[in-house]
Amino acid sequence: MLRRPGKMFLAVAVFWLLLDIVSKQVVVHMMDLRQTIPLWDGVFHLTFVRNYGAAFSLMQGQMWLFFGAMVLLIVLVLWFWISERPHHWMPVMGTALVMAGALGNTLDRIMTGSVVDMFDFRVINFAIFNVADIGISVGCAIFLFWLIFLSGQLNWKEVFNRPAFPEPDFAESDLASDCHAESEELEPKSPQKSKPKKQKPKVSLKERMSSKLKGWEEGLDDE
């Protein structure tokens, strides 16, 4: 964690911008246009060319796009610093290198209408580039590496372990209980056998009259 990320951002941006300006001035004053100096013959040369496009000679002749991209880049970097307030060295250095590279090439276009390029890798037939292009490419790589793997903004376990079909909101036990209840409703209920009622023994009229007479006789005897 950096205690003063703003100072580190300013130091890296100023250093890379000055390095870009100095290297271009050395090439302009020490070499002729289209001159090449082999530092490793057939592999790496110093070649002085003027680029009228963007980085790595792309989009030549569209100057207004470069200034629009520069303004957009400044807005994005400011938004990132205000919203995130980075304290890790990777986003600080990455944004500083990108900003310095963009400023270096933009200053060249404003002053001369073109960008001075000098690094010529011939072993892979790559486009000729400069210090500012290196800052933009390396800065973007550092920033993206931090964003994807270290910032915690992207949870790769959640992305790769996400099920193909969403899980239901209810539990399996609730589903089983509901199915069991529905099956019970569909099954016909077997009729319950009613218990036979106990029938009272039938008493004839003669027996009832005789029992009453006995009761009266016993009452008279008691008196």
HSE (side-chain half, CA atoms, 13 Å) at 144: 7
| Catalytic one of 20, 108, 117, 120 | 117
Active site residue 108: no
User: Which of 108, 133, 174, 222 is the catalytic position?
Assistant: 133
Question: Do 104 and 21 touch, CB atoms closer than 8 A?
Answer: yes
Could you please report the per-residue DSSP string of 37-80?
EEEETTTEEEEEEEE-SSGGG-STT-HHHHHHHHHHHHHHHHHH
- Between the alpha carbon of residue 66 and those of residues 48, 53, 73, 95, the distances in Å are 22, 9, 10, 18
Does the annotation mark 41 as catalytic? no
How many helices (H) and strands (E) the chain has is answered by 7, 3
- Residues annotated as catalytic are 117, 133
